[in-house]
Amino acid sequence: MNKILLFFFTMILLFMSACTKELSINTNTFTPYQGNAFNDTTWLKNITGISPITALADTLAQNTLFTDSIDLWKDKAMIFGDSLEVDFKGGSCTNNAGTLQDGKARIDIIRLQKKGDFIKAYRPNTSNMYLLETSSAFFIRITKNGAELALAPGASIKIKYSDISEAEDNMQVFYGKESLPLSTSTFDPANTWVRSLDTSWIKTWSTQSNYGIKKGYELEAKSLRWISAHRALDPNQPKTNIYAILPPNFTNKNTAVFAVFDHNRTVIDMHGDYASRSFTTSNIPLKTKLLLVSISKFGPDLYLGTRLVNDVGTMVNYSFTPEKKSLTQILAFLNSL
Amino acid sequence: MTNNQFDQFFREQLKDHSAPVPEGLWEKIMPKDKKRPTAFYLPKNVGLGILIASLIIAGLYGGFKYEQATTNNLVNTNIDNNRKPIDQNIKHTNSEGIRIENTTIVSSIKKETNSTNSMVANNATKVVENQAIISKNSIEYNLANKIKADNYSYSFPAKSQSKNQIKILTENIIDNKKSSASTTLIQNKNEKGTLSTVTLNGSADENYTAFTKINPSFPILLNTTQSNNHFSLVNKTLVYNAHDKKIQGIIICPNIKGRSSFNTDWGIEFYASPDYALKYVSNISAAQQYLDKKDSSEQMQISYTAGFRLIKPLNDNFLLKAGFQYSQLNQKFSYRNENEIKTTTVITARTIIRSAGDTVLVSDTSVLQQIGYKIKTVHNQFRSIDIPVTIGYQFGNDDLKFGVNAGVVFNLSSWYQGEILDTTYTSVPMNKVSNALYKTNIGMGLYTSFSLIKRINNNTHLFFEPYFRYNLSNMTNSISPYNQRFHIGGLSVGLRFDLNR
């Protein structure tokens, strides 16, 4: 009898305790989305083909495009506002076969003035890892029937513009180097500025207007597409490498990091370093004050990260975490640079 | 000395005598009870009435048969405390009638139980001891019913014969003049016309000696024909001392039906039950999409109930039960939240090159973010304390009973814990403090069950009781956009204890 009672009540206690134990387990199971770019933390040794970074560059390519129509056989001075004048000389364009072209053509002009413009165009101010300081850059394209034309040998196109800062006397013409064939994306891993063979200083000008003295540059470009006025930063300053360290989600597949100099109109692209899983660049002068800017794209989502560096050299690795931003917010930020 | 003195002597001496029932006897007569129908049978009073009516009819019939047999009936009396069988002597008697009048045998008799009317026992079979007075009429009744018995014998009780004044009238006992040698002595006594009187005032042995003075050939040899016609008591032995040795100090009387050792006064049962609740939801003002989402996020799970009930039998079949029980309904709430960000702190170590030949190992703590979905699983618990009140009808035998029960369950208090999906499709907690949708008292429910009761021992029963509880009220209050209630099914397993012993 006692054994029966003991067994019975033991079973009840076990039954109830088992239930209590089972019931106490509350879970909150997280399952990452498969195939979501945000969850991809892998790095690429080399950026090739289509990747989120190309989509990012195309998304950010929001610079103002000036368009006009020209007669290929006639001279034409195209004035855009009060700060840009492009003088086209007739009979200076050839097709891919080198044949002079005539007839109507379309001319597209993009002007990069601010540091943010260079970021949006993904055209950092470097020439083979040497740092440059810019005083604007232009993208000029002439197309006829959809086919892009080139300047004939010896021909040139004159660009007269006023800058946003004092005109410097030691600016030189640089041309943008691009991948061949031309990249269909704004992002071009081969891009760099190459100094023109004509290493003379770009002419400056000044005129008196009702609003005061107006100064600017007048450069002659002997080729189309990317043309800029640059000068090298002081090569004698001690330099260092800097690293931008982002959370593991932000890889070289989806993130572009730029170092925006504070005192110079210089924007440096910090490329992804596979070994250290960070973004780096070299030849940064010590004591430089700069702003690290990261822009990332995960599907439709954009992330913006910044890190102000007041004194390069005290430390060279900078960690920061990007935040999710809208495209408008990012463009506004870039325009403010 | 009258003809009734012998009878009266035994009546007076043994009227207050009680013979205890030997231990284990009732278990031996179980097979008889098992013959009863397991379902419905006559109530106690009806059965008693039938028994009394049967006895009256049997008495009338016995009296009638007695009148028919008074002329030739034989009573084979063998007073032999050495248990001497008489069958051989009977075989040698012929058709001479031997008649003994006014012979009364008072004794404890072992009675066969395989015949309802039998008062003669076969001591080789299962027996019931009973204190009985066998009068001539009763013997005639037994004979008239042609009850056969083997090894019948009689012996005086040794102790009860002391200081007795017993007179046996043997007047006109024997009128058979053609007796065998063994009956000669009796015949001589008749021829003399003497009235032989013997006084028994000693022990059984002395009595026997006294008997043998007037009947030296005792045991008495009877006429075989008549004895065979009326006394089929050949080889029947009544062994008085067989149960006399088993007398105990207490008397355990069976009830009138002699059927149940189950205590019918009151009892208590403890039980526990695995349950499963059926959720019933009806819409009031909620969007159907919300109800679908809510329904898909909730899954009832095995629950349990435990409690006790006091049992008051109303009669052999009807039981009134009331108790106290605790119930816990378990529900698995599982809801998927999309676009959840999971952050994980990671520490990374990197080797960076500040300049040529200047390598630094940098440790960095950062946060890894992952986007995905979260499945939130919470085990909701709906608890309640109730008072079940039921009435049941049970039937069956002592070993196995079946029952049906019905009643109501009054809720004393209910409280809840867990999370539910609100109308904004977010999970919100529900507990004693923040519960806004559910009542704290869900009212009354209907209860029905079927029970199977197995006896473990005299006072303990194991029972299994599948049941269903139908709640009459919604557990949601008036501000809820939907009505919800639970109906519960389960299997109670418990022990029932008889508390009147």
Q: For residues B392 and B321, is the Cβ–Cβ distance under 8 A? A: yes
Cis before A181? omega within 30? yes
CB contact under 8 A, A317 and B352: yes
Across A51-65, B103-117, B452-466, least confident range: B103-117
Query: What is the pLDDT, as a whole number, of residue B175?
Result: 39
CB-CB: which of A27, A239, A276 is closest to B351? A276
Same domain, A220 and A328: no
Average model confidence (pLDDT) for chain B? 66
The residue-averaged pLDDT of B213-235 equals: 47
Is residue A102 in some structural domain?
Answer: yes
CB contact under 8 A, B350 and A277: yes
Residue B275 has pLDDT above 50, yes or no: yes
Query: What is the pLDDT, as a whole number, of residue B278?
Result: 92
Residue B108 has pLDDT above 50, yes or no: no
Query: What is the pLDDT, as a whole number, of residue A173?
Result: 92
Cα gap B466→A111, rounded to integer Å? 85
Cα gap A141→A107, rounded to integer Å? 6
Is residue A326 in some structural domain?
Answer: yes
Higher pLDDT, B470 or B40: B470
CB contact under 8 A, A26 and B378: yes
**B122: closest CA of chain A, how far (Å):** 38
Using DSSP's 3-state secondary structure scheme, residue A198 falls into: coil
The residue-averaged pLDDT of A59-86 equals: 86
Query: What is the pLDDT, as a whole number, of residue B165?
Result: 37
Using DSSP's 3-state secondary structure scheme, residue B228 falls into: helix
Across B54-68, B152-166, B257-271, B278-292, least confident range: B152-166
Which structural domain, as residue segments, surrounds residue A100? 63-232
Residue B180 has pLDDT above 50, yes or no: no
Query: Quick one: pLDDT band at residue B162, thresholds 50, 70, 90?
Result: very low
Same domain, A139 and A172: yes
- Cβ atoms within 10 A of the Cβ of A322, count? 21
Cα gap A37→A50, rounded to integer Å? 13
Same domain, A205 and A84: yes
The residue-averaged pLDDT of B293-320 equals: 90
Give the ranges where A65-215 is alpha helix by DSSP (H).
Answer: 115-120
**B368: closest CA of chain A, how far (Å):** 6
Query: What is the pLDDT, as a whole number, of residue B434?
Result: 66
| pTM of structure | 0.56
H helix or E strand, kind and range, residue B30: helix B30-34
Asked if the ipTM is above 0.85, the reply is no
Q: pLDDT digit string (tens) for A304-315?
A: 999 999 988 878
Which residue in this structure is represented by tokens 């806004």?
A: B436
CB contact under 8 A, B372 and A39: yes
Query: Quick one: pLDDT band at residue A17, thresholds 50, 70, 90?
Result: low
Domain boundary among A182, A200, A232: A232
Query: Quick one: pLDDT band at residue A180, thresholds 50, 70, 90?
Result: confident
Q: For residues B18 and B131, is the Cβ–Cβ distance under 8 A? A: yes
CB contact under 8 A, B495 and A36: no
Q: For residues B75 and B146, is the Cβ–Cβ distance under 8 A? A: no
Query: What is the pLDDT, as a whole number, of residue B60?
Result: 52
Same domain, A225 and A256: no
Range ranked top by mean pLDDT from B52-56, B117-121, B459-463: B459-463
Residues making up chain A, counted from first to last: 337
Using DSSP's 3-state secondary structure scheme, residue A132 falls into: strand
Same domain, A322 and A292: yes
| Chain A contact present for B253, CB below 8 A | no
Q: pLDDT digit string (tens) for A245-286?
A: 999 989 988 899 999 999 889 999 998 889 889 999 988 888
Distances (CA, A) of B458 to B44, B260, B454: 21, 10, 11
The residue-averaged pLDDT of A32-53 equals: 83
CB contact under 8 A, A247 and B366: yes
Strands A239-245 and A317-319 come out as parallel
CB-CB: which of A28, A30, A241 is closest to B353? A241
Across A34-48, B42-56, B319-333, least confident range: B42-56
Same domain, A325 and A201: no
Across A221-225, A318-322, B138-142, B247-251, least confident range: B138-142
Is residue A58 in some structural domain?
Answer: no
Cα gap A109→A87, rounded to integer Å? 12
Residue A127 has pLDDT above 80, yes or no: yes
Higher pLDDT, B242 or B392: B392
End-to-end CA distance of chain A: 89
| Chain A contact present for B354, CB below 8 A | yes
What CATH number does the domain containing A330 carry?
2.60.40
Interface of A with B (CB under 8 A): 1, 4-5, 8-9, 11-12, 15-16, 19, 22-33, 36, 38-39, 41, 239-241, 243, 245-249, 275-278, 280, 316-317, 319, 321
The residue-averaged pLDDT of B279-294 equals: 90
Residue B381 has pLDDT above 50, yes or no: yes
Nearest chain A alpha carbon to B427: A28
Domain boundary among A185, A216, A232: A232
What CATH number does the domain containing A136 carry?
2.60.220
Same domain, A260 and A330: yes
Q: For residues A216 and A205, is the Cβ–Cβ distance under 8 A? A: yes
Residue B462 has pLDDT above 80, yes or no: yes
Cα angle for residues A281, A284, A288 (degrees, 5° grid): 130
Same domain, A212 and A265: no
Same domain, A137 and A171: yes
Same domain, A259 and A282: yes
Query: What is the pLDDT, as a whole number, of residue A283?
Result: 86
Cα gap A336→B205, rounded to integer Å? 140
Higher pLDDT, B106 or B49: B49
CB contact under 8 A, B377 and A28: yes
Is residue A11 in some structural domain?
Answer: no
| Chain A contact present for B364, CB below 8 A | yes
Nearest-Å Rg of the Cα atoms of chain A is: 28
Across B227-231, B232-236, B294-298, least confident range: B232-236
Q: What share of chain A is helix, strand, coil (3-state, %, to 5)?
A: 15, 45, 40
Query: What is the pLDDT, as a whole number, of residue B182?
Result: 35
Query: Quick one: pLDDT band at residue A66, thresholds 50, 70, 90?
Result: confident
The residue-averaged pLDDT of B302-323 equals: 91
| Chain A contact present for B368, CB below 8 A | yes
Nearest chain A alpha carbon to B339: A33
Which residue in this structure is represented by tokens 């039960």?
A: B321
Q: For residues B459 and B470, is the Cβ–Cβ distance under 8 A? A: no
Cα angle for residues B114, B116, B120 (degrees, 5° grid): 70
Partners of residue A174 on adjacent β-strands = A195, A228
**A276: closest CA of chain B, how far (Å):** 5
Same domain, A82 and A165: yes
Using DSSP's 3-state secondary structure scheme, residue A8 falls into: helix
To the nearest 10°, the Cα dihedral for B204, B222, B72, B62?
A: 50
CB contact under 8 A, B495 and A33: no
Same domain, A214 and A254: no
Is residue A47 in some structural domain?
Answer: no
Cα gap A322→A244, rounded to integer Å? 11
Instruction: Mark residue B462 as left, alpha or beta (left: phi above 0; alpha: psi -120 to 50; beta: remaining).
Output: beta
Number of folded domains that form chain A: 2
The residue-averaged pLDDT of B67-84 equals: 40
Q: pLDDT digit string (tens) for A191-212?
A: 899 999 988 999 988 888 777 7
CB contacts < 8 Å between A and B, how many? 122
Cα gap B496→B500, rounded to integer Å? 13
